[in-house]
Amino acid sequence: MKVPKYFHVKSQILALIADLGPGDPVPTERDLAETFATSRTTVRKAIAELVADGRLVHTQGRGTFVAEPKLMQVRQLTSFSQDLTSEGWRPGSVVLDIAEVAADAELAARLRVPEGARVHRVERLRTAADEPIAHEVAHLPGPLPRLAEELDRLGSLYATLRECYDIELALVEDTVETAVADPQQAALLGCDTGQPLLLIHRTGLDVDGTVVEWTRSVFRGDRFRFVALQRVGADAVPVAGASK
């Protein structure tokens, strides 16, 4: 099978940056093209793939740099904050909006409530070491008095549900897809429009099987990766994940 030329250049760039650290600059497209005796178009395609892979980061007007290592999220029933802390990162959260809204047809079906029922909408920007890495919108059914105040006090949505409303998640179902950043998402996440994202739709249930959340999250594909854990054996069940 014939290997595309840009793939060879991609491997050469990886070898070139092997001894560089996060944030170190990468030679310009012109210099790389001369070094590898190829066209700038080929170099540009190789760099684009390395950016998508999370190995490089490109900033318009500044250049291309070695990327920070990807954050790893182990998929088990722990919180976003716990997972990042276990990886040595400082988690954070910026609340963009908390409101009560009427459930439309999709929300009603997702949350298993009547159409038009009042549900809580919580929009947040998730950070690691003050760097934005995810934008999420959670919808929560049922009466949750003083939700904004309690979430501000505790920080974690799952801890707030558990400690203030006696709601304990027992099972989550995640649907993971790929997406690209639109201009609004790019502005929120500090990335380029069109950059790859991980799109996750989550349904969370309590021990009685009642739906207690439906969340749409987008994670920067260049900064995040997920690891799924699953038990094996006749009686095995998947170990589901939580990123709140």
Q: What is the pLDDT of residues 14-23, one digit of tens each?
A: 999 888 888 8
23 CB burial (10 A radius; 0-12, 13-18, 19+): exposed
- Indicate the domain borders of the chain: 5-66, 71-239
Residue 236 has pLDDT above 80, yes or no: no
With a cut of 50, say whether residue 132 has pLDDT above it: yes
Over residues 186-209, the pLDDT tens digits come to 899 988 888 888 888 999 999 899
- DSSP E strands in the chain: the ranges are 56-59, 63-66, 71-75, 91-102, 118-128, 131-140, 169-180, 196-206, 211-220, 224-230, 238-239
Q: Could you tell me the pLDDT band of residue 240, with boundaries at 50, 70 and 90?
A: very low
Mean pLDDT of 212-240: 70
| Measured distance CA(135)–CA(154) in Å, rounded | 19
pLDDT at 67 over 80: yes
Residue percentage of the chain with pLDDT more than 90:
41
At 3, the amino acid letter reads: V
Task: Please check the confidence at residue 216 and state whether its pLDDT lies above 80.
Answer: yes
**pLDDT category of residue 232 using cuts at 50, 70 and 90:** low
Stronger pLDDT, 83 or 96, i.e. the higher one: 96
Residue 79 pLDDT grade (very low, low, confident, very high; cuts 50, 70, 90): low
Q: Look at residues 112, 117, 121, 108 and name the one whose alpha carbon lies nearest to residue 151.
A: 121
Banded model confidence at residue 243, pLDDT cuts 50, 70, 90: very low
So what's the architecture of 71-239 in CATH?
Answer: 3-Layer(aba) Sandwich (3.40)
Give 242's pLDDT tier (boundaries 50, 70, 90). Answer: very low
pLDDT at 198: 86
Looking at 1.10.10.10, 1.10.287.70, 1.20.1050.10, 3.40.50.720, the CATH number of the domain 5-66 comes to: 1.10.10.10
